[in-house]
Amino acid sequence: MNELYELTNPVFNTAKMTLTLLSAVGNEDSIAFEKALGFEQLPHVDAKGEEYELLKRIGAITIELRYALANRLIEQAGNKNVLDLACGYTPKAKYLMDRGFNYVGGDLPAVVEDMARVSRELLGGKAVFQAVDVTNGASVAAAAANLPEGPVTIDCEGLVAYLDKNELTAMVKNFASVLAARGGCWVTTDFESDHYFLAIIQAVTGGQGEKYLKLVNSQVNKKTADADHAPVFAGDKEKVAFLESMGLAVERRPITGVASMGLRTLYACTPEQREAISAALEKINVWIMTPAAQGTKAAEAGAKGLAIDQIQDGDGLTMRLTGRLDSISAPELLSAFLAVPTGGAVKDIALDLKDLEYTSSAGLRVMLIMYKQMGQGHFRLLHVNDTVGAILRDTGFDQVFLG
């Protein structure tokens, strides 16, 4: 099943890379998690020699900084309930639970299965990990329901860049719903991650930031192939306006005190590089969002899934989809497709989308896989409803499937 999740959600690879880089710089909790999971300490890049070492170093500094900032933001927020979404494989659960926090992590089912094993082996089974798609309000609400009563801090790191406008809008609505119902805040470094990433590259490469930023992006995209959409926002002001339009108040807090955070990767830098990184980061912000108004209706608990009904007529097969096609359910559609004897008993496939409520980029990726494997003229979409049609147009997939 992990292979299906990797095909439908290539960003799955970055979760592994984050842990291996934290482990490689000596984070003891990460080393223990990596051993329990059986991962190898190998950054997922194809570069070699000096280029390889430089990319590895830039990645390690960025990941360690992001991890430390996230933990500091959660501690400063003061809420004892933490909902860590797109939690990945980092040892954040152990770090926070050791400090008295209640922790629930949400991610793809494959990640959750792995982390549940880590919870049993290393955390006494006390950390809760649950399958969550951030665009699915019911799954977000169901994960939050595992936490005791009281305000919640939602943490979400390293995900925003991989979402298109439709996905980001759905995610923010779902976060705002939980916060309006429970109180608390959403904290993240994501909205200015491009700024601090470039600042680190500039300092480490001696001002060759743009050159190495392209190199880093090309290496990451080889493994994730998931951030190929146009930037959602033109700038930070547009991001703030968007969040405020979704019922959130936004505080932007400068990144300070980096030199005193004990980051192992900074110790490996020259004094000049450490000074340049610290000075640059003080001009960059972490973001804290709180509900601007109380009383927003919370999403229903109990995540909506996907139903697939198959009707064969001669050598044609129609697959009727009902529900949601997202990062949790997309592998189900891919699995159903791979089980079809295409080229033999089935030569044409149609997806009936009349009752499909939503599709994320993971669902679109599965449709594209089906389209490419069936060949032009042997795959089509039927009864595309207005909601799904708008998503196809916004992402440009209407030119592929409906053109």
Question: Tell me: the pLDDT tens digits for 48-60?
Answer: 566 667 777 888 8
Phi, psi values for residue 80, rounded to 5°? -85, -10
Are both 331 and 263 inside the same structural domain?
no
Q: Among 291, 326, 361, where does a domain finish?
A: 291
Q: Predicted confidence band at 18 (pLDDT cuts at 50, 70, 90)?
A: confident
Q: Predicted confidence band at 44 (pLDDT cuts at 50, 70, 90)?
A: very low
Give the β-pairing of 316-325 and 306-313.
antiparallel
Per the domain annotation, does 328 fall within a domain?
yes
Are both 244 and 322 inside the same structural domain?
no
pLDDT value of position 2: 60
Average pLDDT over residues 154-160: 92
Q: Among 228, 260, 291, where does a domain finish?
A: 291
Give the β-pairing of 152-156 and 81-85.
parallel
Are both 340 and 262 inside the same structural domain?
no
Q: Which of 322, 329, 378, 331 is nearest to 355 (CA)?
A: 322
Structure tokens at 393: 């147009």
Average pLDDT over residues 367-382: 92
Q: How many domains does the chain have?
A: 2
pLDDT value of position 400: 87
Per the domain annotation, does 196 fall within a domain?
yes
Residue 295 exposed, middle or buried by CB count within 10 Å (0-12, 13-18, 19+): exposed
Are both 267 and 363 inside the same structural domain?
no
Which residues, in sequence order, are CB contacts of 156 under 8 Å at separation 6+? 84, 85, 86, 134, 171, 175, 186, 188, 190
pLDDT value of position 319: 96
Per the domain annotation, does 301 fall within a domain?
no
pLDDT value of position 345: 86
Per the domain annotation, does 175 fall within a domain?
yes
Q: Pick 215 or 56 by higher pLDDT.
A: 56
Per the domain annotation, does 297 fall within a domain?
no
Query: Considering the chain, what is the average pLDDT of its residues?
Result: 86
Question: Tell me: the pLDDT tens digits for 222-251?
Answer: 444 444 556 778 889 999 999 999 999 999
Q: Pick 231 or 373 by higher pLDDT.
A: 373
pLDDT value at 221 more than 70 = no
Question: Tell me: the pLDDT tens digits for 263-320?
Answer: 999 888 888 888 888 888 999 999 999 998 654 454 444 456 899 999 999 999 999 9
pLDDT value at 351 more than 70 = yes
pLDDT value at 214 more than 50 = yes
Q: Pick 388 or 209 by higher pLDDT.
A: 388
**Are 247 and 293 contacting, i.e. CB atoms less than 8 angstroms apart?**
yes
Q: At what angle do helices 165-182 and 137-144 cross, to 10 degrees?
A: 30
Q: Tokens 């980096």 identify what position?
A: 258
CB atoms within 10 A of CB 5: 20
Q: Which of 90, 73, 89, 81 is nearest to 146 (CA)?
A: 81
Are both 225 and 353 inside the same structural domain?
no
pLDDT value of position 298: 47
Question: Tell me: the pLDDT tens digits for 87-101?
Answer: 999 999 999 999 999
Per the domain annotation, does 298 fall within a domain?
no
Are both 67 and 199 inside the same structural domain?
yes
Per the domain annotation, does 134 fall within a domain?
yes
What residues make up the domain containing 148? 2-291
Average pLDDT over residues 37-43: 68
Per the domain annotation, does 99 fall within a domain?
yes
pLDDT value of position 39: 82
Are both 320 and 285 inside the same structural domain?
no
Are both 56 and 104 inside the same structural domain?
yes
**Which of 104-113, 181-190, 265-274 bottoms out in mean pLDDT, i.e. has the lowest?**
265-274
Are both 244 and 329 inside the same structural domain?
no
**CATH code for position 361:** 3.30.750.24
Are both 253 and 314 inside the same structural domain?
no
Are both 316 and 341 inside the same structural domain?
yes
Q: Pick 269 or 350 by higher pLDDT.
A: 350
% of residues, the chain, pLDDT over 90: 59
Q: Predicted confidence band at 45 (pLDDT cuts at 50, 70, 90)?
A: very low
**CATH code for position 57:** 3.40.50.150
Are both 28 and 173 inside the same structural domain?
yes
pLDDT value at 33 more than 80 = yes
Q: Among 291, 323, 341, where does a domain finish?
A: 291
